[in-house]
Amino acid sequence: MMDSITGSESKSIFTSNKSIEVLKRRSGEKLKLFFLEKGWLLFIVGFLLGRAIVLSSLSPFALAFLASVWFMRKDKAFKLILATFAGALTYHWQHGLYVISAMALFVVIASLLKNKNNQQQIIPVVVLLASICTRVISYALIGQLTVFEWMLAAVEGVLSAVLVLIFMQSIPLLSPKRFKPTLKNEEIVCLIILLASVLTGTIGWDIQGASIEQILSRYLVLCLAYVGGAAIGSTVGVVAGLILSLANVASLYQMSLLAFSGLLGGLLKDGKKIGVALGLYVGTLLIGIYGAGIDALVPSLVESSIAVIIFFCTPESWIKKLSRYIPGTVEHSQEQEQYLHKVRDVTASRVEQFSHVFQALSKSFTIEHKNTIEEEQDKQTDYFLSNVTEKTCQSCFKKEWCWAQQFDKTYELMTDVKDDLEGGKQPNTVLQRNFENHCVKSKKVIDTMKHELSFYQANQQLKKQVTESRRFVADQLHGVSEVMGNFAKEILKERENHEQQEVEIVAALKHMGIELEKLDIYSLEKGNIDIEMNLSFYNYHGEGPKLIAPMLSDILKETVVVKEEEISPLANGYCYLSFASARKYIVETGVSHAAKGGGLVSGDSYSTIELGAGKYAMAISDGMGNGERAHEESTETLRLLQQILQSGIQEQVAIKSINSILSLRTSDEIFSTLDLAMIDLHSAAVRFLKIGSTPSFIKRGNKILKIEASNLPIGIIQEFDVDVVSEQLKAGDLLIMMSDGIFEGPKNIENVDMWLKRKIGEVESNDPQDMADLILEEVIRVQKGTIEDDMTVVVAKIEKNNPQWAAIPSYHKQAQ
């Protein structure tokens, strides 16, 4: 009994804890949405900065903060202006008038210069002009404008311009999405300056004689000293104390108190919160006695005590969340590692689950019916006869005799009549006489059968289409399942240990003077290199492809290129670079085409598609006939092909899917041919899938190879197998694909194959565009200048890939 009670209590406690965790998570998400994404944190900061005053009369913070938000998050600028103006009014109406005037002047000038380049350099200048002009005008309106007022206006303008550059580093930290989830020392200092500036907006607020700005500044020092140690703690103390002392010169000694307390607290952080709090108390006592004497010591101790109480009430989880942004902390390293693994595992698991779901759905669509064909036909016959009898036999006086006493004979006769009518003929004389002798309403029954037969046949056709649709959906779901399964495996790729290469890469980057933040080597397999880097550049000028990629190529003995790069919009920001193996081959294409009779609309369509995983696709589609309708059909075929291939589905499944779509969507006899070549850029292997299309040719030196396959055009039959022809290309080969207007154009030539091979061989140029133009010209010349059908020629030249910067010598070579 006790065990069961204990078990139920444990389950209840577990459920309660889980509910609390869910509540905390939802609350955190709502707070993030409210403060960060909707911008209320920016508005609160703007309100306090509107109140912030330094040197008794200067207010450089409000305009600088607006300019930073204007540059980084312009959509929040208008509401921020209102919040800042409201904060300024709480200080004095004249101050509010100055703030709103300066902001309005800034907005006007910035809007006029919004199309200029280098906005990051222009905005501080605009802030300088707006601040000086507004302040000078305000001084001129109030009283005499002396040299001292001019000097104050210039100082305020310079401070505003400098603060813009500082706040630009801090605004991204208050945004819902950050470019980099860690803080540099410079960013930490900029954030501290912003926070200290915000604290100046609380000057004049107090609780029972305890100053709000002193409590919050000491709490800020406690938190950051506990998180970042002595260096961060003392830096916070110096910066916060300096800005607060500018706002209130009488509190100049507070800078020493905050700096010393931050230093002591950081040194004593191993003693947890108690050690950091002890550092604050020691600093308060020493600086308090030395600075303002015993009389001011008690209020200072009260302010420190309130800050310590708030510090102890701060949840440890909040402190750890703050720690993950400070480089060098244990929490930062653990958080980054756990986060990456969690995202990877969760994403891969979810993708794998979806893959299984699509696989199960595919199987459910391909389950064979247990009923035999005869049983299914009998079932459909029963449905048909029931509809007929409902309209004829239900009101007949012989219903009981026919369907109760003579059921077998009645059913057999009506089935025979139905079979004869279904074949498109009248019932034979004997059958009709027997049916008339058996049924008193034989003519009405036969007429009803003829009427119902049209619905019956339409229903059978619909069922056939539904069956084909089920098969098409099953193929599509199976293809999607394979793509998602492969994607899940790709996500789970583990970072491999390549210590020697990592040391060489780090040394080479250091020799180049490039600051490396993070290096991840996922794979060094030949042809499948995968390396990611986080680097710091003052101004990025293409160092990735120009310097780093050639250096990696030299170290790894394989050509490496930049696969992806994300450049920070900020100067001296971090950049993400991803490197991969270069493709061994590249494809250069040339196309020439003409519409029937020299018209503008051709029934032929072509496409060259560069797919992922080093594949290149070339396709020609010829809609049956000519004109706009044929053009629409061929264009639609290639559009579907491109979208399906880019999703990662295999070529055979893609073509079958297109065939099913085109055959199901219309009853018109409009069909399309498809000539598809898939080239592997790593090995130069090519796979041809020809659906009702003409042969292709490969020119290799003086040899001409013919490629052909036999398949019906797309849309004629609903189910077919795709014949695949494979060939191995070499560097310098020319691949020529053409529509039937080219291949079947020369009517008076007996052997078109030999004629085309001879003409292709006679072309001396290796340029694919020249080849395409000359083939089209020869066919038109043979037809005596007339274009009897749509003509399209697509030519591809295969060449070795030599990256632009691959020949630059690297540090690795120089060291040897």
Summarize the confidence of residues 231-251 as an average pLDDT. 78
| Amino acid at the residue 72 | M
pLDDT score, position 797: 93
Position 591 confidence tier, pLDDT thresholds 50, 70, 90: very high
Q: Is 540 helix (H, G, I), strand (E, B) or coil?
A: coil
Closest residue by Cα to residue 761 from 751, 742, 774: 774
pLDDT score, position 769: 92
Residue 688 is classified by DSSP as E
Q: Is 422 helix (H, G, I), strand (E, B) or coil?
A: helix
Copy the structure tokens of residue 643: 């979208």
Express each pLDDT in 521-532 by its tens digit: 877 777 778 888
Summarize the confidence of residues 165-185 as an average pLDDT. 63
Closest residue by Cα to residue 674 from 621, 623, 742, 608: 621
Neighbours of 319 (CB within 10 A): 15
pLDDT score, position 36: 60
Please determine, for residue 518, whether its predicted confidence score (pLDDT) is greater than 60: yes
Summarize the confidence of residues 143-154 as an average pLDDT. 80
Closest residue by Cα to residue 224 from 178, 261, 179: 261
| Amino acid at the residue 605 | S
Summarize the confidence of residues 36-50 as an average pLDDT. 75
Rg of the Cα atoms in the chain = 40
CB 142 within 8 A of CB 158: no
Give the torsion through C-alpha atoms of 258, 262, 265, 267, to 10 deg.
-140
Residue 182, Ramachandran bin (φ over 0: left; ψ between -120 and 50: alpha; else beta): beta
| CA atoms of 330 and 312, how far apart (whole Å) | 21
The residue count of the chain comes to 816
pLDDT score, position 735: 93
Weakest mean pLDDT among 24-28, 554-558, 563-567:
24-28
| CA atoms of 188 and 715, how far apart (whole Å) | 65
Q: Contacts for 179-183 with beta carbons within 8 Å, 24 or more apart?
A: 179/568, 179/569, 179/570, 179/573, 179/574, 180/534, 180/568, 180/573, 180/574, 181/324, 181/325, 181/336, 182/325, 182/326, 182/327, 182/332, 182/336, 183/325, 183/326, 183/327
Summarize the confidence of residues 499-526 as an average pLDDT. 83
pLDDT score, position 816: 44
Express each pLDDT in 317-363 by its tens digit: 777 777 777 766 766 666 666 666 677 777 777 777 777 777 777 77
| CA atoms of 361 and 478, how far apart (whole Å) | 8
| CA atoms of 539 and 675, how far apart (whole Å) | 48
Neighbours of 324 (CB within 10 A): 21
Copy the structure tokens of residue 704: 């001409």
Express each pLDDT in 350-406 by its tens digit: 777 777 777 777 776 665 544 444 566 667 777 777 777 777 787 787 777 887 777
Burial 26-49 (b: 16+ CB within 10 A, else e): eeeeeeeeebeeebbbbbebbbbb
Question: pTM value?
Answer: 0.47
Burial 560-574 (b: 16+ CB within 10 A, else e): bbbbebeebeeeebb
Position 798 confidence tier, pLDDT thresholds 50, 70, 90: very high
pLDDT score, position 4: 43
| CA atoms of 6 and 14, how far apart (whole Å) | 12
Please determine, for residue 143, whether its predicted confidence score (pLDDT) is greater than 80: no
Residue 520 is classified by DSSP as E
| CA atoms of 46 and 42, how far apart (whole Å) | 6
Q: What are phi and psi of 609, to 5 degrees?
A: -125, 125
Closest residue by Cα to residue 563 from 582, 546, 580, 583: 580
Summarize the confidence of residues 462-481 as an average pLDDT. 72
CB 590 within 8 A of CB 551: no
Q: Is 258 helix (H, G, I), strand (E, B) or coil?
A: helix
Tell me which range, 242-251, 320-329, 535-544, is most confidently predicted by mean pLDDT: 535-544
Report H helices in 393-441: 399-400, 407-422, 429-438
- Using a 10 angstrom Cβ sphere, with 0-12 exposed, 13-18 middle and 19 or more buried, the burial of residue 584 is middle
Q: Is 691 helix (H, G, I), strand (E, B) or coil?
A: strand
pLDDT score, position 178: 47
Neighbours of 621 (CB within 10 A): 33
* HSE-CB for 87 with a 13 A CA cutoff: 28
Copy the structure tokens of residue 807: 């020949």
Residue 437 is classified by DSSP as H
- The label of the residue with tokens 């303008």 reads 157
Weakest mean pLDDT among 190-204, 458-472, 512-526, 601-615:
458-472
Relative to beta strand 724-728, strand 703-707 is unpaired
Neighbours of 224 (CB within 10 A): 27
Percentage of the chain lying above the pLDDT 90 cut: 3
Relative to beta strand 515-523, strand 585-594 is unpaired
| CA atoms of 694 and 792, how far apart (whole Å) | 11
Position 500 confidence tier, pLDDT thresholds 50, 70, 90: confident
pLDDT score, position 246: 78
Express each pLDDT in 284-312 by its tens digit: 887 777 665 666 777 888 888 888 888 88
Summarize the confidence of residues 669-680 as an average pLDDT. 77
pLDDT score, position 796: 93
Summarize the confidence of residues 778-791 as an average pLDDT. 85
| Amino acid at the residue 801 | N
| Amino acid at the residue 253 | Y
CB 214 within 8 A of CB 608: no
SS (H, E, C) 80-145: HHHHHHHHHHHHCHHHHHHHHHHHHHHHHHHHHCCCCCCHHHHHHHHHHHHHHHHHHHHHHHHCCC
* Mean pLDDT over each residue of the chain, to the nearest integer: 77
Copy the structure tokens of residue 421: 């009518």
- The label of the residue with tokens 């020119």 reads 699
Strand partners, 313: none
Residue 57 is classified by DSSP as T
Q: At what angle do helices 147-170 and 119-142 cross, to 10 degrees?
A: 150
Angle at 543 between CA 537 and CA 549, to 5 degrees: 130
| CA atoms of 792 and 797, how far apart (whole Å) | 17
Please determine, for residue 642, whether its predicted confidence score (pLDDT) is greater than 70: yes
| CA atoms of 53 and 199, how far apart (whole Å) | 11
Burial 82-121 (b: 16+ CB within 10 A, else e): ebbbebbbebeeebbbbbbbbbebbbebbeeeeeeeeeee
Q: At what angle do helices 442-491 and 651-665 cross, to 10 degrees?
A: 150
| CA atoms of 768 and 673, how far apart (whole Å) | 23
| Amino acid at the residue 724 | V
pLDDT score, position 734: 92
Non-local (6+) Cβ contacts of 564 within 8 A are 576, 577, 578
Give the CA distances from residue 339 to residues 261, 328, 334, in Å, rounded to whole numbers and listed in that order.
Answer: 34, 17, 8
Copy the structure tokens of residue 813: 């070579």
Please determine, for residue 189, whether its predicted confidence score (pLDDT) is greater than 70: yes
